[in-house]
Amino acid sequence: MSGCSQLVKKLKDVSWIPDKDGVFRKPSEMTKDILRDDFKYEIKANLLDAIGFGEQAVDTDKKHVAQEYFKEQGINADKLEELANILKEHGDVVIEDFRKFAITRKNKEFPSASINKNNLENRRQRVIQELEDESDKESIKIERSIQKDLPDVKVKAKAYLRGK
């Protein structure tokens, strides 16, 4: 039996099945539709399963069906795939952290205070009145004198003293 399983493994890992273009492919990459017409397909199904015939096509079909389903549900399939990769990498820790996050997010509700239109109007009137009562701002120009050609030591000393 060991010889049989070695043969199956070898057949699984090597590109030996010709497609319609004459390119040899691994069994997992093949489907009945892309097999050469003269390549016989009447092999027992359990042998085809053992060598993984058409596995990638089945996986691709499953992935396509899943993406269509998530698209219909309004879920971004790329984000879901990213989440799946994170789960593979970090496992249960991520799930527990996400659960805690979701619970705190759900419990965080803003108080539902009823808005009184009279209060809004009163506030609006107060703000307008405060703006009208505010005195106009005046600005004046002040000339500034700067001493030229001061020694570097004096410039540094003045800057130091101003800082203090």
Judge whether 117 lies within some domain.
no
The total of structural domains in the chain comes to: 2
pLDDT at residue 30, rounded to an integer: 80
Same domain, 81 and 51: no
Q: In this structure, what DSSP letter does residue 73 have?
A: T
Segment 39-45 shows an average pLDDT of 64
pLDDT at residue 150, rounded to an integer: 79
Judge whether 116 lies within some domain.
no
Same domain, 44 and 81: no
Judge whether 160 lies within some domain.
no
Give the Cα separation of 70 and 64 in Å (integer). Answer: 10
Judge whether 119 lies within some domain.
no
Judge whether 143 lies within some domain.
no
Judge whether 13 lies within some domain.
yes
At 101, list the tokens: 């996050």
At 122, list the tokens: 């009163």
Same domain, 13 and 51: yes
Judge whether 156 lies within some domain.
no
Same domain, 50 and 21: yes
Give the Cα separation of 135 and 106 in Å (integer). Answer: 48
Same domain, 43 and 84: no
Neighbours of 53 (CB within 10 A): 24
Residue 48: domain span: 2-56
User: Which tens digit of pLDDT belongs to each residue from 124-134?
Assistant: 888 888 888 87
Same domain, 51 and 7: yes
Are 19 and 38 within 8 A, CB to CB? no
Confidence of residue 45 (pLDDT cuts 50, 70, 90): low
Confidence of residue 2 (pLDDT cuts 50, 70, 90): low
Segment 59-77 shows an average pLDDT of 76
